[in-house]
Each structure stands twice: as structure tokens, then as C-alpha cells.
Structure 1
Amino acid sequence: MGFQTLPGAGREKGEGDRPWWLVALVAIGLGIAAVIAVNDLYAQVFTTVSRGIGVTVFVTVVGFVLATLLGLLVALAGMSDSQIVRQIARFYVEVIRGIPILVLLFYIAFVGAPGFVSLYNFLIGPLVEGGWLSALQVRDVSLMWRAIFALMIGYSAFIAEIFRAGFQSIDRGQVEAAMSLGLNRYQRFRLIVFPQAIRVIFPPLSNDFVAMVKDSSLVSVLGVADISQAGKIYASGSFRFFETYSIVAYIYLILTIGLSMLLRRVEKRMRQKGAAR
């Protein structure tokens, strides 16, 4: 008696399911869009809150790019030949991962920024006295950039672990084979390790990008005029909390779900190209 092949065997569970969840979300989204179009109150709330989209996108993109660069440096330091450098990188990762983003935001904004200004003024003191430069004031460091640096530092520790896991997933034999061919360390990383590791790194990295879109709402506590801050100001003045925060959630869902679907398509294409090789 032979074995029967079960339907869907050989593929992951749920892979062939129709995206009914997406159909439901699109239907709800279109319904809310229709309400915004015909209801003056919701239209006014949407117009007001949507002014913060540009700030949210700017903070997220700049913060994530800087966090990725810093995370890559920390990951490379964590794989250094020097034990001291490795221990410093591990210390940085463990400390930063243990601090909530909101606490880090307050610390960078109200402790780090004044400390930076004091250090800067101390270093350029002779130039200030000579009239070449003017002293920097704490208010000269914008709250938006304080928030961006806080997000950069907070996410860099998690991104460093993503890079480390991706680089260490490459078989050691390939690296040794590249060494036997005379490739230096930079060439091995650029030609052998990174092209293969990026397929492992990209999915969790894209998840962190979507997470930063949501965590960027925390910058509103500093008064940065993002989506959340625009909604908070409108709601406190009109007392229309239900309508305002429904629109705020609606805009964040459009951004995060749209971005997740786009990154999923990119990830799928990367897998297909990797399988074709």
C-alpha cells in the first residue's frame, strides 16, 4: 500500500492561503476613507493629523539609516580579533538593549544634548574667546535631532545582533576557501559573506524598520510635530478623542501595513534570486 501525498505537502503551513485578512483590511480601510470623504469632522481631523506624516517619515528613515550604519559597525566590532574591542561591543549591546526607548529618548534629549553642548563649548573655548566661533546653546540642538539620535542608539543594538547572526550563519568553510585563494578580509566580507548574509539579515531588519515607524510616535513626548503630536494637539483642543485617535491609528496602519507588504515582496524576490543561483 503506497503513501498518499497530502494536499499542500512540501510547502510551509499557510503559504498557499488566500490573503483574506488583507481583503478585510482593505474593505475596512475603504470604509474609513469613505467616512473621511463625506464627514466634515473626520475630514478636518484627517487633514490636521496628516500634516505630521512628513515628520514621521523623516524621523523614521533618517533614524533607521543611522541605526543600521551604527549597528553594522558594532556587529563588526563584536567579531573583531581584539578581545577588548569585542567586549566593548558586547557591553554596548547589552546596556542599550536593556534600556526602554522612551527612557533613552528622555536621556538623550535632557542629559545627552546638554552634555554634548558643554563638551563642544569646552573644546572650542579658545575660538569663542577669539571671536572665530560663537558658543553653542542647548536650545540650538533641535528636539527632532535629539529624538533621531535616541532612536538611532536604541535600535542600533538590536540591529547589531541581526548583523552578527547573519554573518555567523555563513559556513566557515567558504571563508577558509576564500582565504586559500588569497582574498583579504575586506574582499572576503564583500564577495563571500555579505552577499549571502543579506538574505538572512533582510527579514528581521525589515521588521525593525516597520517597528521604528511605530516607535517614532514616541518622539511626540518631546513636542516633535509628528502624527501623534498633531493628533494630541487636536484632541486636547477639540475633545474629539475618539475621532482623532481613530484617524491616527488609521494613518499608522496604512504606513505599517503598506510598508510590510512592500518589504515582503522584496524579501520574496531575494529568496527567488537566491534559489535560482
Structure 2
Amino acid sequence: MPEGHSIHRLARQFDDVFAGERLTVTSPQGRFADGAALLDGRVLESARAHGKQLFLRFEGSLYLHVHLGLYGAWDFGGDATFRGASSIGAPRRVGERELAEDDAGTAYAGPPAPVGAVRVRLASEHGWADLRGATVCSVATQPEVDVVLARLGPDPLGVPVAGADPGEEFARRVNRRRTPLARLLMDQSVVAGIGNVYRAELLFRARLDPALAGSALGPERARELWADAVVALSQGMRDGRIVTTAPSYWTSAAGTLPDPEESHWVYRRHGLACRICGRRILLADEAGRKLYWCPACQSG
């Protein structure tokens, strides 16, 4: 499932290529025909991400609310003025496909014929975006958006509200629960945007036992965990990839991102030696999701 950094990159891309444009909205697949009709012909005013939720605000205070889930993805294309990633979301891939120079430089004749089950298509004079496979794709009013946001925890990539401290709020939500940290970090009502990869990597970077209860963590260590989440997700948003290891562990050329097998401390490294201590990385089932950790480094 795409994690929070990818959804924030989506929001930024929608702002870059469609904000202020009057869009044609259709549902080639037909499952979103009624919703598309409500949005068709309206100006896209802005895009916002919170955790794994994407909200595209159209004039008239109507939103296209999308949660990609496990299989959702947006594909983009357009003319030479249209820049950005050509695909963000599932299926899982290393990074994002960037628009090829030769594709961007060819004469633009409008969106191509839909391929596959396109739930919704947004099209402007200069480009298009197709959504497939999303768990949630609906039209929402402002009160309905507010209800969704109210049930989510703070977002490490969110814009802080004046007078509020999201790190303190995260610490409060974690410290009041006896639930294991491995489960709390995946609970979107505790913290929005962290998925299975960041969960494993953040716990390793903090040298925290995944089974440690949130109430046993303490407010100071909880705030430190939050601060590292802000750093890690911000780097992911910048790079378009989740890279959590230090450059000293990379064999790639200077100034480039590491190969996939060098990008993580523990995620998908079951049975391999820990990069720090040499012990074997373990794998367990945690609430139906694979959990990776080092039993030596994460004993506290």
C-alpha cells in the first residue's frame, strides 16, 4: 500500500499540473459515473493529503476523496508543458516512473483511449490523470471531509496548525495505550501515513522492541520517534522512494540513491544479517502484516 510520502507527492503533482484548471471528469469504467457527473466541468482549486487520504477540492466545495489502498494507482500524461511522475501508487515499484522526454515532447492529441478499468479520468487542455483500483473513490462535501480528518491521527508531513504540537499529540496517543508499538504505528488514528515499510524501519532506527507497549515508551522517546518519522517521510517525499539506511552503507555512485537491496535496515531482509550487529533479521505476523526486526538491536 502506498505510504504517506507517496500521497503527499500526489497532492503536490495535482497542484502543479491541474490547480486552477477547469477539468473534464469522466468514469470510463462506469462505476463512478454519478460522482464524475457532479465534478465534471468544475475548476480544481487545490489538492491536499493527510496520511494515506487524498482530497482534491473542486469549486463549489466538492471534493474527490481517494484512498488508493493496496492496488490503487494514478497514471498521468500530457503535452510538453506537463511534468512530473507518470505513475504513483500500486503496483509496487521502486520509486515512480518519470515522464519520458520523448513522450513529453511529442504532439499532444488529447488523452489516449482508456486502458483497463479506469475508475475516474481527469482531463485538462494539457494533460490527464487516470485512477485505477482505489479502495475509496467518492465525492465528499466539506463536512464529510472533516469527519474523515477527525478520525485520523497527526501526519508527519502535515502543516502544523497554529498553537498545536503534532509531536505532543502523537506522544499522547501512543502513551495512553498498552498496545504494542508495532500495531500502534499502523493505526491511522494514532499517526496518519505510516505503513508497513516505515513501521519496521522507524522502530529499528529507534532501537525499539516492536512488542513494547505504547504506555511503556514514555513521552520523551515518543517525541523522538515522531521527530524521526518527520525526517524519514520528508526524505521519502523528496526522493519518491523509501530509503532509510545511511549513505555509508550504499555502493551506488555519489549523489545517487541506493539499490533496493541497500535501501532498508530490516524491511524484507528476513534471514539476512543485521547491518549493525550481524544477527539474523526476524519475521513475524503482526495483525495480518509482515513485521521485520532485529532481536539484538531492538531489545529495548
TM-score where L is the length of structure 1: 0.21
More strand by share: 2
More helix by share: 1
Structure index of larger Rg = 1
Q: Relative CO higher for 1 or 2, CA cutoff 8 Å, sep ≥ 6?
A: 1
TM-score where L is the length of structure 2: 0.20
